[in-house]
Chains A and B, each alone.
Chain A
């Protein structure tokens, strides 16, 4: 069998990650359910009219509601949110993956873009 080299370098980069386990999925269930509901345009419209009411509809806790209102993507990951799902909140409020990602890195969008290769596309 072929030896694999990449990543077996002890000096290689370690990636900081929050693996979306079953337990995390349970913890973030309400938040993810709200986020997933935004695939429906009527739900997006309802969310935009009154975010607090929409969070009550999905029985979010006060802490979870604050994460939504504040667009606290890092907090959502910690609370069991899944990035593919809470991106639907970003979509609903006119944001996008790059802005969400820059926030999670603690950077502005411009700072993040400066870290990308020069031939950058858009995600």
Chain B
């Protein structure tokens, strides 16, 4: 049977993409942030996963509001990088795992989750901004992306995100002998519009990280308004981290954790193993 061998929760942000492309590793403002990803990357490499399930959100690059799916599962050989308006970055396409993808599609629907299945799907900074820090390109490990609507309300509840993660965990358990890591991205506190543009709340972000490890049921009960009041409207992305936590089962061991809030977004990182 398949096994979830690890879970990663991590912030995505366009600023991370720029820092990577401009190679800011020795910049005093960025050095500690770059360093904080290294233990996670080493751990991930040592885990040698056969596939990554990537829970993230599209920023209106693949999907538009003519038809905006609440959950969309990508099942394709290749996922190209999205051009978000600035042109594409010098990074390769992502490989897909279609066999695992269709298996997850079947088991999610049988489990009464009903994602849109996408055989063509571009992937934006929701994945591309952070993945190079955690896994050196070109990426050999294939992915199964799950895009979540965290932009156009009504959004899925925090509980729903946790539950679909748990369903992914069951799906992997009913698969072949494969080692799977579930990664969820999403900025922690941030607000990107209006007079409170730039709002960050490190205290709340760190409390979220504590609860994610020890008591995710509390986070599942919070309304969207409670998340947004604490972390800013766009911070609602962080509910996607609950999908990762749901996939891992009841108890987790924290392997690595880091947090910075240098500018517009709480950059959080956790690596968990089941147990």
Q: A25-B152, A91-B85 in contact; A116/B233 too (CB < 8 A)? A: no
Chain A interface, number of residues (Cβ within 8 angstroms): 54
Chain B interface, number of residues (Cβ within 8 angstroms): 57
Contact B191 A15 (CB under 8 A): yes
A75 to B192, CA, bound (A): 14
B residues 121-159 in Cβ contact with A at 8 Å: 151-154
A75 to B229, CA, bound (A): 23
Q: Is B19 in contact with chain A by the CB < 8 A criterion?
A: yes
CB-CB nearest in chain B for A115:
B198
A residues 11-27 in Cβ contact with B at 8 Å: 13-22, 25
Q: A16-B195, A18-B194 in contact; A123/B263 too (CB < 8 A)? A: yes
Q: Is A82 in contact with chain B by the CB < 8 A criterion?
A: yes
Contact A83 B193 (CB under 8 A): yes
Q: Is A56 in contact with chain B by the CB < 8 A criterion?
A: no
Q: Is B259 in contact with chain A by the CB < 8 A criterion?
A: no
Contact A17 B191 (CB under 8 A): yes
* Stretch in contact with the other chain, from B56-64, B98-106, B173-181, B248-256: B56-64
Contact A117 B207 (CB under 8 A): no
- Specify which of A77, A115, A122 is in contact with B15 (CB 8 Å cutoff): A122
Contact A15 B65 (CB under 8 A): no
Contact A17 B153 (CB under 8 A): no
Extra contacts besides A2-B215, A17-B191 (13): CB < 8 Å: A2-B214, A6-B203, A14-B229, A82-B60, A83-B192, A91-B84, A97-B14, A112-B198, A120-B29, A121-B29, A121-B33, A122-B15, A123-B18
On A, residues with C-beta under 8 Å from B are 1-2, 4-7, 13-22, 25, 29, 32-33, 36, 38-41, 44, 74, 77, 82-85, 87-92, 97-98, 101-102, 104-106, 112, 115-117, 119-123
